[in-house]
Structure 1
Amino acid sequence: MLPIALLFVLSLFGLSDTRPLKDRGLIDNAAGQTYDYIVIGCGVSGLVVSSRLSESEDITVLCLEAGALDHYEDEIQIPYYIGLQPDGFYEWGIYTTPQGQLDGVSRHIPMGKGVGGGSLINGMVWNRGNQQSFNAWNDLGNSGWGWESLLPYFEKSETYTPKNYAGREVQPVLENSAVHGTSGPIQVSYPNYYWPQTDNWFSALQEIGIPTSAEPNQGLSAGGYFLPLDIDPNNQTRSDARRAYYDPNIQRNNFNVQPYSQVTRIIFEQGDELTATGVEFAAGPSSPRQTAFASREVVLSAGAIHSPQILELSGIGQSSILEGLGIEVLENLPGVGNNLQDHGMIHLDYSYTNPDIMDVEDFATNSQFNDDSAAEYYSSKTGPWTAKPSCAVAFPSLEQTAADAAGMISAARSAAYNLPDTYANEPTLQRGYEQQLDSVLGELASENIPAFENLNNNAGGLDLALMRPLSRGTAHITSTDPFAPPNVDPRWLVHQFDYDVMILAMQVNQKILDTDAIQALQPSYAQIPRDANTDQLGEILRVGIGTEYHYSSTTAMLPLDMGGVVSDQLRVYGTSNLRVVDTGIYPMVPGAHLQAVAYGVAEKAADMIKADQ
């Protein structure tokens, strides 16, 4: 039973539900059962696909999730708690291999584990990226995956509520109803609080020549963005996949979700093509292996790190990886687990010290401010607790920030690729990478394509993330034990261009801090000296860079002769009824936070699967 205090808080939001778990759409008896569809992983992609497929009453769907069903914890629902969740909170706890190209140290790579996946713990930022980046997917041989094809599904996933912060010096929020949805499951809106430092931020960007985009989710410009969040405009709580796609549909008898069920392998029947007949799963390493069967399709939605792991354990992947572990190769697909892309990110702190302006750092140092903000949130759903993630960020282009953008791009074309060892003797992987490199550098020549992101927290946190990386990493198994974590090697900054862009971004930070608008906030320079030179910035970068949590492209949607794993219908090559639907299918990671993209791609995938019924 939930604690009385928690039930009281839930009742304030109208969220209390004390029914037993067995009455809330959960099952624990999938073993031996047959379903039309089995979806592996109940994160964003898996819940979208399974809930949409179950809209047909005569279709049965099972979604198997390795993690738990949450209990409406404050740490999930209230924006204030972003970044304050305890270690292991609905998360896998996986670390990378030591990053020798940086400082030789491994990094934690948080990934959501639970019904709702990463949407339970992410930063709530909602943006899609630029139109050209999705058109590039289409141009690489994926028919029907350009911007115009995806836009209806971006809209289908959301209910967008604009907000006018009247009286502000800078008013960046303008509604463009042509690119927003009005009846989708995810609530997309803005906090009921506007940090006054936001005005300083946009003034600073404009002072150094970075314009403000009126509608960033239209995908047409780079620059300063005021981005929405996946936040309910009424009760100011997180709108995640569990609450948007699972809770409203638990009354469906054909929509079955089973937590604590980690899939250990996919079961195939061999013929001209492999036919997925079911999956094997278990609650934990010492639990018995059980089997459920699929009469139509298996949909793999375990994420860009775990989906390749499951494919490899099932005999689909790079033959050298599988043979080295004694796994029978059912289908040699070198792309599985290769082509890993992530937005490398570094946390930089120039804490504002102006005592007359409160910011998010004062939550920890000023108990009165924090208590007052909490009381305001609980009483009226307004105030600073609604606005822990800043909506004011920047996604500048090379043209907007570099002295010689064309020279940087030219140098990138001739620089060493520094590809992973797994690319050796794999011409399809090499060909695919060269096509991606040409595509990304062609985009970056445009003034409308972001090269990096500056995540401003309105308190002096100016974190930086690389948007269009040329570095490629890997995620492969090293054991036949499905409960052993895969070997994840993001290889951030192995391509010289990525390093150069991040140094440029750090120098842009210095320009932003030198503006009159930011100097008024009295930034400090304890972490990064005000006059740091390129070598000093490089030392800080190599020690500090890690993940922005946007793992992708390890089961890429590309032609087979480019190292692809799935077709433009998302079917795994060499199989008849196995698809992958998660961020792993992206040929190239878009220059955006990925949750809005993940919802839209999964909505499109659900319709594709339905069309084949």
Structure 2
Amino acid sequence: MQTVSVDDFTRQSFDFIIIGGGTAGLVVASRLAQHGKFTVGVLEAGGVVNGRDEVEIPAFFGRALGTDIDWKFESTPPGTQGGVKDQWPRGKGLGGSSAINYMGWNRAGRVDYDAWVELGNPGWGWDDLLPFFKKSETVHPPSSSTQEEQDIRYDPNTLGTSGPIQITYPDEYSPSHQLWIKGLNSLGVETNPAPYSGSNAGAWTNPSSLGLHTKARSFATEYCSLAGSNLYILTEALVEEIILVKADSGYVASGVRFTHNGQEYTVSASREVILSAGTIKSPQILELSGIGNPEILSRAGIDAKVDSPMVGENLQEHKALIFVVDVDPELENPDELILDAEKAAAAREQYDQDKTGPLTTMPGSFGMVPFTKAIQQGALDKICSQVDALTGLSPEKKALLEQRLRNPDKIGLMEYFFKLGAGAFGGADSRHGIIAQILQQPFAAGSIHVQPKSAATDDPVIEIGYYHGPAGEIDLELMLQSTRFARSIMLAPPFNSVVRQPFLPPASAFEDDEQMKQIIKSGTRAALHAVGTCAMGGNAGIRGGVVNERLQVYGVQRLRVVDASIMPLQISAHIQATVYAIAEKAAHMILEDVAAQ
């Protein structure tokens, strides 16, 4: 991985400038540089994070949050709902959020991606994206004994075997894992025989972005080995704006202005500027550059160049509620590695010596549950009637979301996962675990915009209002009704031999709807899967989104956005694998467009 000095960077003549050396940015940069004919520059606000324990060691996932390699964003309090500020961690360093996330690797269902096409974005359906999912990954199957013991199933024809990101299943499993799967089975949630093949509904074992032999995080910096000396990466470079030049047909992106160690610089791109700063930073940089809603730009003291009203709008995030539960004290609990210094030291020695033991394990007990399983039919019919009366969504999006409620057979719209250990979630000692309930398809959307009189060093304003307005009321009811299913999981044999009783909230809360609603409102947190703020506009064009299906920014030539912000609708999956696929497809499209010129 080649990082250079600011002097070396600024003396280059670049074909492409990529803003952001994160998950998507390094994929696009490396694939373009791999082509061999182009000089590619990457501007990254953070530094190199490879080699840090909190990045590399699997069981240390989550420890990087709140550190110097996290942007440490916060959302605004949700108005009069009595909520609190929510933490919105994002990776600040080469690799972006792929360096600090929880390493979950899964795909959404066919209907999620085909919905993007139905909105008017050809080329973004399941069949279109599958080759790029496969191109990004090397999936290492579990041993035959592990596969049989843990009932791990998948279709190898849909998985990649030569991509840069290494995907592995855990070598060791807690006794609770199979009990979790069987407990879901007893509730009618069947084990999915091919969860990466177009239907993610059901119970299954989730792999992680983890090296097979290194037992270290596999993340976006792996892509840099594809490129040669024509890839230049500058770290600690904060982008101030994209330079736009007036042309007869609008504006052309010609380069980027940025600061490094307090000094201001500009660089030019002869072919394209590619914005890959993520769902939070990408709309902020567009607005700082004069692309956005003129009223918002005016309040920030920014001259409006391109009237693009959807910049920063359409913010969609998975809504997570954590249940802390008392568990069987005889089970080996990961929290003991934190609470017991002797066990922690022994685990570290084992990891350093042969890359085995507790520090290599990752949670893999997942269930993606259709609402027809999680919610009683009468309650679901009532929610559907609320959707019928809903305004504020485009007719196309409303129809797609409503269809998923009514016909969700092959899509899991409520995620549940189980993890032993709850130290970060209110557990007092090692005798706790967590069950997470995560709403996959929220109706309510938020926004991300620059602050008034804003500068690049200011954090943008994240307005999410999880349960605000009629759309938020639908989300609240979906979460409330689904808590009953969460309680059913705790009681389901044989998993009920693991969970003794709810701890936070207590068992009594599950019997009181009003109390549970307050718990949901105050306890919901972002699942760190935000999308949509620079979405593909589809049939609605610039009035419905920010980029077209080639990810080109409306109203600006030679400027694209490539990251999670381009998703027009949220998906029923952790987004990491999809972001890699988006970036792989984007690089392919860019090379196609160059060849056609």
TM-score normalized by the length of structure 2: 0.92
Give secondary structure in 1 for the equivalent of 2:283: helix
* 8 A contact 1:165–1:171 mirrored in 2: no
> 1:181 Cα deviation (Å)?
0.5
Alignment match, 1:441: 402
- In 1, the alpha carbon distance for the partners of 2:542 and 2:268 equals 32
2:474 to 477, 497, 518: 497
> 1:480 Cα deviation (Å)?
3.0
* 1:578-593 equivalence runs, <5 A: 578-593=559-574
- In 2, the alpha carbon distance for the partners of 1:561 and 1:275 equals 17
Alignment match, 2:134: 155
**Aligned CA-pair RMSD:** 1.9
Give secondary structure in 1 for the equivalent of 2:72: coil
* 1:454-473 equivalence runs, <5 A: 454-459=416-421, 460-473=433-446
Is the aligned partner of 1:220 residue 2:199? yes
- In 2, the alpha carbon distance for the partners of 1:434 and 1:548 equals 27
Task: Flag the 1:408–1:385 CA change in 2: closer, same or farther, 3 A.
Answer: farther
Alignment match, 2:61: 82
- In 2, the alpha carbon distance for the partners of 1:69 and 1:371 equals 27
**Counterpart amino acid of 1:228?**
P
- In 2, the alpha carbon distance for the partners of 1:398 and 1:24 equals 48
Is the aligned partner of 1:338 residue 2:313? yes
Alignment match, 1:537: 516
Identity of aligned residues (%): 33
* 1:384-423 equivalence runs, <5 A: 384-387=358-361, 389-404=362-377, 406-417=380-391
Alignment match, 2:425: none
Is the aligned partner of 1:477 residue 2:450? yes
Alignment match, 2:104: 125
Structure 2 unaligned blocks of 5 or more: 422-432
CA-to-aligned-CA distance 1:433-474 (integer Å, 9 cap, x gap): 432222122123222211211121134210121100111100
CA-to-aligned-CA distance 1:102-153 (integer Å, 9 cap, x gap): 4242111101110100011100000111010000001100011000000000
> 1:403 Cα deviation (Å)?
0.9
* 8 A contact 2:325–2:499 mirrored in 1: no
CA-to-aligned-CA distance 1:301-348 (integer Å, 9 cap, x gap): 000111100111111101111122332211111110000011111222
> 1:190 Cα deviation (Å)?
1.1
Is the aligned partner of 1:26 residue 2:4? yes
Deviates more, 1:67-76 or 1:450-459: 450-459
* 8 A contact 2:323–2:503 mirrored in 1: no
1:267 to 228, 234, 243: 243
Give secondary structure in 1 for the equivalent of 2:502: coil
Structure number having the greater strand percentage: 2
Give secondary structure in 2 for the equivalent of 1:523: strand
- In 1, the alpha carbon distance for the partners of 2:107 and 2:15 equals 32
Give secondary structure in 2 for the equivalent of 1:351: strand
* 1:162-311 equivalence runs, <5 A: 162-164=141-143, 166=145, 171-242=150-221, 244-246=222-224, 248-249=225-226, 252-271=228-247, 272-283=249-260, 287-311=262-286
1:374 to 348, 353, 358: 348
> 1:84 Cα deviation (Å)?
2.5
CA-to-aligned-CA distance 1:237-272 (integer Å, 9 cap, x gap): 110111x112x246x221011000111101111111
Deviates more, 1:50-59 or 1:559-568: 559-568
> 1:367 Cα deviation (Å)?
3.9
> 1:296 Cα deviation (Å)?
0.3
* 1:504-583 equivalence runs, <5 A: 504-532=481-509, 533-559=512-538, 560=541, 562-583=543-564
- In 2, the alpha carbon distance for the partners of 1:390 and 1:203 equals 16
**Counterpart amino acid of 1:500?**
E
> 1:349 Cα deviation (Å)?
0.7
* 8 A contact 1:187–1:232 mirrored in 2: yes
Task: Flag the 1:140–1:168 CA change in 2: closer, same or farther, 3 A.
Answer: closer
Alignment match, 1:52: 31
**Counterpart amino acid of 1:379?**
Q
Deviates more, 1:40-49 or 1:452-461: 452-461
* 8 A contact 1:27–1:256 mirrored in 2: no
Deviates more, 1:480-489 or 1:601-610: 480-489
Alignment match, 2:414: 452
**Counterpart amino acid of 2:318?**
H
**Counterpart amino acid of 1:397?**
P
* 8 A contact 2:154–2:195 mirrored in 1: no
Is the aligned partner of 1:600 residue 2:574? no
> 1:189 Cα deviation (Å)?
1.0
Deviates more, 1:97-106 or 1:597-606: 97-106
* 8 A contact 2:241–2:256 mirrored in 1: yes
- In 1, the alpha carbon distance for the partners of 2:389 and 2:357 equals 49
> 1:364 Cα deviation (Å)?
2.5
- In 2, the alpha carbon distance for the partners of 1:375 and 1:520 equals 32
Task: Flag the 1:517–1:362 CA change in 2: closer, same or farther, 3 A.
Answer: farther
Task: Flag the 1:170–1:192 CA change in 2: closer, same or farther, 3 A.
Answer: closer
> 1:564 Cα deviation (Å)?
1.3
